[in-house]
Structure 1
Amino acid sequence: MKNILLPIDFKGNEQLLLDKAYEIGEKFDSKVWLIHVAAPNPDFIGYDAGPQSIRDSRAEELREEHKQIQGFARSLNRKGLEADALLIQGTTVDTLIEKTEKLNIDLVIIGRQTHGIFYKAIFGSVADSLVKKTKVPILIVPLD
C-alpha cells in the first residue's frame, strides 16, 4: 500500500482522521495525500461570481484552508511520514475519484458523521457516494 488519500473537510474532526492515516501509513510505509475539495467558483456552476468583496472573501477562505491543510501535512512529515497536501476546487466526489486514479491511491480514509434523513436528502453522503463509484478500498472512520 503505497498511497493513501485522506479527504479533509475542516469540520473540526481532522485530528482523528490524521491519527488513523498516520497509524496505517506508518505500518505500510505509505505516502499520505491530504486533500480538501473546495466548492467550485460560482461561475463554474452557472452563477455570477458576485461583487468583488465576496470574491475577496472567498479567496481569503481558500488561502486559510490551504495553510491549514499544509500544516496537517507538515505535522505528519515531522513524525516521519511522507505526506503532501492538495486543495482543489471542484465537485467533491468526482474530484476525489479523479485523484484516486491520478495518484494511484491504494486506500481512501474518510470520516463519516451520522446525519438525519433531511440532511441526507439535501446533501447526501460523500462516503456513501465514494463507496458506490470507486473500486479503491475505503476505510470509513466514524466521527460521532
Structure 2
Amino acid sequence: MKILAVVDLSESTANIVEKAEELAIALLAKLWLLHVAEPEPDFVGYDVGPQSVRDTLSQKFHDQHRQLQEIAERMRGNGIDATALLFQGSTVETILHEASRLDVDMIVIGSHGRGAMYHLLMGSVTEGVLHAAKCPILVVPTHNRK
C-alpha cells in the first residue's frame, strides 16, 4: 500500500499527519508527505524584484523543506517508511502528477471547511483533487468544530 499525504504546513498539518500515520501503521504502507510551495517569481515570468524579496522567498522554501524533513524523520522514528517531498508549482496539478508518478493507492488531504462563497470565488485544492484523482481520497477535517 502506498499513501500520499498532502500538507500545507499550517496548523492543520498535525491533523492530516496524525490520520496518515494511523493509516500507514495499520496498513503497513509506504507514506509520502507532500507539500507544494508557491513557485518563485523568477520561475514563472514575473518581474524579479529586489534581492531581499528573493532571499525571503528562498528562506521560506528552505524552512518548509526543514519542516517536512522533521515530520518525516519523526515518522521514521515511529517505524513508518516515510519520505518528504517538496515541490514548487500549481498545487492541484502537482498533487495529481505526484500521485500518478508514485502510483499511490490513496491520497490523504485536509479540508478547511470554508463556506460556499469562498469556494465559488477561490476554488479549493481539495475539490480539484477530488474531481480528478484516479485513486481513493481521505479528506480530513482540519478546522475546529464546536
TM over 0.5: yes
Question: Which residue number in structure 2 is paired with residue 76 of structure 1?
Answer: 75
Aligned partner of 1:94 in structure 2 is: 93
- Name structure 2 gaps, 5 residues minimum: none
Are 1:136 and 2:111 an aligned pair? no
Aligned pairs, number: 143
RMSD: 1.2
Deviation at residue 122 of structure 1 after TM alignment: 3.5
SS in 2 for 1:73: helix
Equivalent pair of 1:3/1:30 in contact (CA under 8 Å): yes
CA deviation string 1:74-98 (max 9, x = no partner) = 1110100010001100100000011
Q: Is the 8 A contact 1:111 1:143 kept in 2?
A: yes
CA contact (8 A) 2:40 2:57 kept: no
Q: TM-score of the superposition, structure 1-length normalised? A: 0.94
Q: Which amino acid aligns with 1:68?
A: Q
Aligned to 1:27: 26
Aligned residue for 1:23, secondary structure, equals: helix
In the alignment, which residue of structure 2 is the partner of 1:3?
2
Alignment TM-score, normalising by the size of structure 2: 0.92
Q: Distance in 2 between matches of 1:119 and 1:42?
A: 25
Amino acid in structure 2 at the alignment position of 1:40: P
1:112 alignment counterpart: 111
C-alpha separation in 2, matches of 1:109 and 1:60: 27
Q: CA deviation at 1:118?
A: 4.0
